[in-house]
Structure 1
Amino acid sequence: MLLPLLRSRTQGDIIAWILLHPEEKFSLTEIGRAVGASGPTVMREVDRLAEAGLVREVRRGNQRLVSADTANPVFGPLAALMAVTFGPVPVLRELLADVPGVREAWIYGSWAARYAQQAGPVPGDIDVLVVGSADPDVLDEVAQAAGQRLGREVSIRRVRPSVWDAADTDPFKATVTSRPMVTLIGGERR
């Protein structure tokens, strides 16, 4: 539902991971781990990308390393399209990874619903829930940086762990957890 031109959500995740990290080379195993896909699936999708000239390949021993082919004329437009559709997961994981005090983080709301393949309009923003003691000013900087990279507003709501853990009757928690959530850090994958 995020980009109905693609065959699957996994295909979108793989393409976004590679194109949104154009300066890096990844093994197929690293790509699979990053997007939660099996080895055969990653190999099949990377083969398709290589045939189309969208990725470059380098062999190191028996390891196959791939990176985005930034010289391909469709790289720029395709990377921009992947950023606004499948980009929130890799971009937010990267930006939140080094923030002290983040115990768990999820994307929720309309973007998470589209990612879960629920029909609806293209989301205008990205809603992020962070459980932890992270500095709100640092989270605001993350939201701003993510918004610039993703081409849409990113809102981060922080909840302290003691409040989140004790909030079994809290209406916000009940609403958020009853709908699709996409894990960024910790927590269960949904």
Structure 2
Amino acid sequence: MSPSLLPILRSRMQGELLALVLLHPEREYSITELAGDVGVTPTAVLREVDRLTGGGILTDRRVGRSRLVKARTDTPLYRPLSDLMAVSFGPMPLLTDVLAGLEGVQRAYIYGSWAARYNGEPGPPPADVDVLVVGDPDADALFDLAEEASRRLGREVNVHRASVEAWEARTGDPFLISVRERPLVQLNLDQETP
């Protein structure tokens, strides 16, 4: 099933893989790393990497028994495809990178229309990205982070903060109740950031 975020792609895995690699052009990934970051088997990643290297979108090299993959930035496809991945699947890798390093962040979720499209709900492309940060990070740092993410993603990023206690209470705050009732995409803040 093609993903609702960018229906021209074959799968959500393809979108996540392209976003991760194209939005970190300076980094090389092993097949095992990509599989872990995208949440699929190494075999599935290997098949996709074979297609993308064959098409000139990615480049690879062998180091011992490992195959390292990175974005091929020397082609006319790189910039427009990278921009397309940033506005469609880009919120996950970008927000994971910036929030993983912010002190006081316990958990983070994308919610709203972006999360709905990511989870397969049909609809128009999301105009913005809504993020819920659970914890007690500095409010000014969060504001700066939202501004930078908005600039890099080419769309508004709205960040809301909730305490761990409020998030875990499951009652009381109507806003948090409504966020929980709709699709959520939890960001994996424990992963190694590039």
Q: Which residue of 1 aligns with 2:135?
A: 132
Q: Which residue, 32, 35, 47 being the options, matches 1:32?
A: 35
The secondary structure found in structure 1 opposite 2:187 is strand
User: 1:185: Cα distance to partner?
Assistant: 3.9
Percent of counterpart pairs with the same letter?
Answer: 50
| Equivalent AA in structure 2 for residue 18 of structure 1 | V
| Equivalent AA in structure 2 for residue 155 of structure 1 | N
Gaps of 5+ in 1: none
Q: Which residue of 2 aligns with 1:82?
A: 85
| Equivalent AA in structure 1 for residue 110 of structure 2 | I
Q: Aligned equivalents of 2:188 and 2:42: distance in 1?
A: 22
Q: Which residue of 2 aligns with 1:154?
A: 157
User: 1:169: Cα distance to partner?
Assistant: 3.6
Matches within 5 A, 1:50-61: 50-61=53-64
| Equivalent AA in structure 2 for residue 57 of structure 1 | D
Gaps of 5+ in 2: none
Q: Aligned equivalents of 1:186 and 1:152: distance in 2?
A: 22
- Superposition CA RMSD, Å: 1.3
Q: Aligned equivalents of 2:171 and 2:36: distance in 1?
A: 32
Q: Aligned equivalents of 2:130 and 2:118: distance in 1?
A: 13
Q: Which residue, 169, 182, 186 being the options, matches 2:185?
A: 182
The secondary structure found in structure 1 opposite 2:133 is strand
Aligned pairs, number: 187
Q: Which residue, 38, 44, 52 being the options, matches 1:41?
A: 44
Contact 1:106/1:185 (8 A) holds in 2:
no
Q: Aligned equivalents of 1:19 and 1:125: distance in 2?
A: 21
Contact 1:103/1:185 (8 A) holds in 2:
no
Q: Aligned equivalents of 2:189 and 2:165: distance in 1?
A: 16
Q: Which residue of 1 aligns with 2:69?
A: 66
The secondary structure found in structure 2 opposite 1:2 is coil
The secondary structure found in structure 2 opposite 1:121 is coil
The secondary structure found in structure 2 opposite 1:40 is helix
User: 1:73: Cα distance to partner?
Assistant: 0.9
Q: Aligned equivalents of 1:34 and 1:94: distance in 2?
A: 12
User: 1:164: Cα distance to partner?
Assistant: 1.9
Q: Aligned equivalents of 1:139 and 1:56: distance in 2?
A: 35
Q: Aligned equivalents of 2:33 and 2:40: distance in 1?
A: 10
Q: What does the per-residue CA deviation read over 1:31-85, in whole Å, with 9 as the maximum and x for residues that have no partner?
A: 1111112111110110000000111111110000000000011000000000000
Q: Which residue, 82, 95, 107 being the options, matches 1:104?
A: 107
Q: Aligned equivalents of 1:185 and 1:29: distance in 2?
A: 17
| Equivalent AA in structure 1 for residue 153 of structure 2 | L
1:172 aligned onto 2:190: no
Q: Which sits farther off after the overlay, 165-174 or 41-50?
A: 165-174
TM-score using structure 1 length:
0.95
